[in-house]
Amino acid sequence: MISPVRFKTVFKWSALAVLIWAITFILLGANVLVSILATALILIVAQTLFLLRLDLKLTRKLAESSSRLIPDTGSEVNSRLENGLKLLDTVLRPQEVVVFRLDENRNLVSAARLRTSKSGPLDVSRNFAWRDGINLCENAIKAGELITQKRTDSEASISLALPLHHENRAVGALLVRLGDEFDDRDRALLSGVGAQLARNLQREVARKTPLPRALRAYLSARSARTRLELMDVLNGLISEEGFVVNALAEISDGLAIAYLDGTIAYINSPLLERAHFSPDDLGRLNLFDLLDALRAGVFDEPAIAVRRVLQTGIAYERELQFDDRNGTFGLRMAAVRDLDSNQPLCLAITVRDITAIKEHEKLKSDMISLMSHELRTPLTSINGFSELLVAERDLPEPAREFVSIIANESQRLSRMINTFLAVAQLERKDKQEVLKIPLRLDEVVRETLANLQPVAKKKRIRLVEQPAHRIPPVAADKSLISKALTNLVTNAIKYSPERTTVTVSTALEAEAVRVCVEDRGYGIPPEAVDRVWEKFYRVVRESQEKDEESTGLGLAFVREVVEQHGGTVELQTEEGRGSKFSFTLPRL
Task: Give the pLDDT band of residue 337 (cuts 50, 70, 90).
Answer: confident
DSSP 470-529: SPPPEEE-HHHHHHHHHHHHHHHHHTS-TT-EEEEEEEEETTEEEEEEE--S----GGGG
CB 347 within 8 A of CB 371: no
Cα 350 to the center of its chain, rounded Å? 18
Handedness of CA 77, 81, 86, 88 (dihedral sign): positive
The residue type of 279 is P
Q: Residues 6 or more apart from 135 whose CB is under 8 A from it? A: none
Instruction: Let me know: does 478 contact 444? Beta carbons within 8 Å.
Output: yes
As a whole number of angstroms, the distance between CA 116 and CA 121 comes to 9
In degrees and rounded to multiples of 5, residue 575 shows phi and psi of -60, 125
pLDDT at 252: 83
Percent of the chain with pLDDT over 70: 72
Least-confidence region, from 29-43, 296-310, 413-427, 467-481: 29-43
- φ, ψ dihedrals at 172, nearest 5°: 170, -160
pLDDT at res. 418: 74
pLDDT of residue 123: 43
Whole-number Å distance between alpha carbons of 354 and 356: 6
Rounded to the nearest angstrom, the gap between the alpha carbon of residue 349 and the centroid of all alpha carbons in its chain is 19
- Is the confidence at residue 538, as pLDDT, over 70? yes
Residue among 415, 410, 544 nearest 486 (CA): 415
Which tens digits make up the pLDDT trace of 370-382? 766 677 778 888 8
User: Are the beta carbons of 264 and 256 closer than 8 angstroms?
Assistant: yes
Mean pLDDT of all residues in the chain?
A: 77
pLDDT greater than 70 at residue 147: yes
Question: What's the Rg (C-alpha) of the chain?
Answer: 38
- Beta carbons within 10 angstroms of residue 538's beta carbon: 17
Q: Which helix (H) or strand (E) holds 150?
A: strand 147-150
In the chain, what are the helix, strand and coil shares in percent, each to the nearest 5?
50, 20, 30
Give yes or no for residue 214 having a pLDDT over 70: no
Task: Locate all alpha helices (DSSP H) within 313-395, ordered by sequence.
Answer: 355-369, 376-391
Four-CA torsion 281, 286, 288, 289, nearest 10 degrees: -10
The DSSP-derived string for 194-246 is HHHHHHHHHHHHHHHSPPP-SGGGGG-HHHHHHHHHHHHHHHHHHHHHHHHHH
- Whether residue 60 has pLDDT greater than 50: yes
HEC states along 378-440?
A: HHHHHHHHHHHHHHCCCCCHHHHHHHHHHHHHHHHHHHHHHHHHHHHHHHCCCCCCCCCEEEC
pLDDT of residue 581: 93
Fold of 437-586: Heat Shock Protein 90 (3.30.565)
DSSP 297: T
517: pLDDT strictly greater than 90:
yes
| Percent of the chain scoring above 90 in pLDDT | 9
Q: CB-side exposure of 179: number of CA atoms within 13 Å?
A: 11
Other CB atoms within a 10 A radius of the CB of residue 74 amount to: 14
Is the model's pLDDT at 243 over the cut of 50?
yes
Distance, CA of 243 to CA of 247 (rounded, Å): 6
What pLDDT is stored for residue 393 in this prediction?
Answer: 78
- Per-residue b or e along 128-166, where b marks 16 or more CB atoms closer than 10 Å to that residue's CB: eebeebbebbbebbeeeebbebeeeeebbbbbbbbbbbb
Q: Residue 308: which residues within 8 A CB-CB, separation 6 or more?
A: 314, 316
CA angle 50/51/53 to nearest 5° reads 70
- What was the pLDDT predicted at 81? 82
CATH class of 254-353: alpha beta
d(CA 580, CA 97): 53
Residue 124 has pLDDT above 50, yes or no: no
What is this structure's pTM?
0.50
Angle separating helix axes 376-391 and 397-427, nearest 10 degrees: 150
Whether residue 231 is predicted with pLDDT greater than 70 in this model: the reply is no
Backbone phi, then psi, for 220, in 5-degree steps?
-95, 135
What mean pLDDT do residues 24-35 have? 57
8 Å CB contact between 533 and 552: no
List 165's β-bridge partners, or say none.
Answer: 170
E strand or H helix at 309: helix 302-312
Q: What count of residues does the chain have?
A: 588
Band of pLDDT at residue 505, cut at 50, 70 and 90: very high
Which CATH class, in words, describes the domain spanning 76-205? alpha beta
